[in-house]
Amino acid sequence: MSISLGGITLPDLTPDHDYLIGDSGIKSEFVESRGSAPLIWEQERFFKLLDLVGGERTGWVEYSVLTALMELAKGQLDSNAFYNLTYDVSYQMRGSDGTLVDASLSKTLKVRFRNWDQPVIEATPLVDVLIPISTTLYNNVRIKLVEILE
């Protein structure tokens, strides 16, 4: 599985998302009516919590990638930016003759970092070092994101 977040390529982390949260604001649309009063259509916007996770033996991330992700999370606070999360999903399905066929699907989601849920990026160094270098590896990674649904 290949994953890219905001143009940064990540190792084989697993997307973990499954529930909706409401009350993220109101999406309003103004429409002019034939009368003198405008019509206002309002709809609650929803978002979906989404984490990218790696385990003890999967999804090892280098320190340089983690610092680049932290810069994206900080930059989002200033610019109110959204990022594209692209990942491939591999699965098996039954063919018309009943045999299993390998298939894949590429997904692109619009996401933001969950800066209100600190720490936004969690990771454990594979080997304890006083000062990490760019190639120091981390495991047990969790990147906290929110998928924006419109």
Contact indicator for 136, 63 with CB cutoff of 8 Å? yes
Whether the predicted model's global pTM rises above the 0.85 cut: no
Q: Provide the pLDDT for residue 15.
A: 80
CA-wise closest residue to 127 among 55, 63, 52: 63
Amino acid in position 129: V
Instruction: Categorise residue 7: left if φ over 0, alpha if ψ from -120 to 50, beta otherwise.
Output: left
Residue 110 forms beta bridges with which residues? Answer: 84
* Cα separation, 140 vs 11, whole angstroms: 12
Question: Which helix (H) or strand (E) segment is 137 a member of?
Answer: strand 137-149
Residue range 93-135, pLDDT digits in tens: 888 888 888 888 888 888 999 888 889 999 999 998 889 999 9
Q: Provide the pLDDT for residue 61.
A: 93
* Cα separation, 141 vs 43, whole angstroms: 35
Residue range 30-78, pLDDT digits in tens: 556 566 666 555 555 567 888 999 888 888 999 999 999 999 998 887 7
CA-wise closest residue to 143 among 57, 83, 80, 93: 83
Q: Is the pLDDT of residue 6 over 60?
A: yes
Contact indicator for 5, 72 with CB cutoff of 8 Å? yes
> Which stretches of 37-146 are DSSP H helices?
63-79
